Amino acid sequence: MLTFKQYLLEEVKKSKEINFEYHAELNPEIWKGDKLRPEVRKKALEIAKEFLNSFPTKLKVIDIYIPGSLANYNWTKKSDFDLHIIIDPVSCRGINVDDYFKAKGAEWKTKHNISIRGFKVEVFIEPKGTTHESSAEYSIESDKWIKKPKHIKDLEIDEDEIEKTVRNLQKKIRILLSKNANPKEIEKLKEKIRVMRERGLYRTKKGEFSVGNLAFKALRSKGDLDRLTRAKRSREDEKLSLD
């Protein structure tokens, strides 16, 4: 019988969503040693500038940085090239930040399919003070590390706790969807899963390899998160429809 860890690795081969790869060096396509390649930096700044030009008002940029697996040793072929644009809160005064910036990011994503060295570019924008600390962050603006990644020599994955967490959440999802839950109930569970992942990523030493993050990836790989999203949209459409 497969252990849960072996099961997850089998899921990797099928879905390419979960990956426990861990490397001795940063991705050589993006980095030269521990320095961002000049051509990569130039292109990333160009993308950020184009994204900012899509806003009707001028926003004051404090920094642009790369977090996540591409700034760490757990990069994979499926990693995203995340660009985080941090702006001065004063320049977005009067804007409903969460809704507006998320909407602009979603709009940009539907209109563009940009990649750097084969890695899909995802652009995020947020006021200073609302960011979540990552295990590694490289400033494209100043071309230096904000927080250097630490290579973990003896990486351990708590597969039993991951399995327990995944099974528990899958049960909640099944119950929720079987009782025709309303959009607010579905969103509440989605938020719980999001918070679980963020706590694992940013509040534990294991970061990307924490129970919270790997449980999230398992749910995403198996399609549970997509089912929640589709169910929420379906319920919302039902409420807006008239027979």
Q: What is the pLDDT of residues 143-194, one digit of tens each?
A: 999 999 988 777 777 888 888 999 999 999 999 988 888 889 999 999 999 9
CA angle, 234 then 240 then 243, to 5°: 95
3-state secondary structure of 65: strand
Q: Is it the case that residue 53 has pLDDT exceeding 70?
A: yes
Encoding tokens for residue 171?
A: 């049960």
- What b-and-e string marks burial along 193-204, b requiring 16 or more CB atoms within 10 Å of the CB? beebbeebbbee
Task: Band the pLDDT of 93: cuts 50, 70, 90.
Answer: low
How high is the pLDDT of residue 30? Answer: 97
Q: What percent of the chain has pLDDT over 90?
A: 40
- Under a CB-based contact definition with an 8 Å cutoff, are residues 23 and 17 in contact? no
Q: At the topology level of CATH, where does 31-147 sit? A: Beta Polymerase; domain 2 (3.30.460)
Q: What CA–CA distance (Å, rounded) separates 109 from 107?
A: 5
Of 162 and 41, more confident: 41
Task: Band the pLDDT of 18: cuts 50, 70, 90.
Answer: very low
Q: What CA–CA distance (Å, rounded) separates 64 from 33?
A: 20
Ranges 50-54, 55-59, 139-143, most confident: 139-143
How high is the pLDDT of residue 155? Answer: 72
Q: Is the pTM of this model over 0.85?
A: no
Of 174 and 20, more confident: 174
Q: What CA–CA distance (Å, rounded) separates 138 from 35?
A: 9
* Residue 82 φ/ψ, nearest 5 degrees: -85, 130
- Under a CB-based contact definition with an 8 Å cutoff, are residues 194 and 215 in contact? no
Average predicted confidence (pLDDT) for the chain: 84
How high is the pLDDT of residue 20? Answer: 60
Mean pLDDT check: name the lowest of 1-10, 37-46, 51-60: 1-10
How high is the pLDDT of residue 3? Answer: 58
Burial class (CB within 10 angstroms; exposed 0-12, middle 13-18, buried 19+) of 115: exposed
Q: Is it the case that residue 98 has pLDDT exceeding 90?
A: no
